[in-house]
Amino acid sequence: MNETSDVSINRFYVYILFSFKDKGFYIGFTANIKERLLRHASGRVTSTKFRRPFKLIHSEMFLNEADAKAREVFLKSGFGRKQLKQFLKRTLETYS
């Protein structure tokens, strides 16, 4: 099978949610983005349950789990958050 058509490959996601309640971000990591977003939306994630509702404003897909976790850690850092605000500038203007 061609590498580009392999649908059975593992995928890992870093995602960014925007809270309409406090106008802040939540940066997360998951292997199942659909299930994770449903958990956030239903209040089943302790760290975000009182910050709902959310909008998914960015996601990145990785084939390697360590790469995805490293990206999550970077985005949560001071420089990462600054960079995040810069590259999502127009998106954030829409919701602010």
9-95 homologous superfamily: GIY-YIG endonuclease (3.40.1440.10)
Domain spans of the chain? Answer: 9-95
Q: pTM to 2 decimals?
A: 0.89
3-state secondary structure the chain: CCHHHCCCCCCEEEEEEEECCCCCEEEEEECCHHHHHHHHHCCCCCCCCCCCCEEEEEEEEECCHHHHHHHHHHHHCHHHHHHHHHHCHHHHHHHC
> What are 23-74's pLDDT values in tens digits?
999 999 999 999 999 999 999 999 999 999 999 999 999 999 999 999 999 9
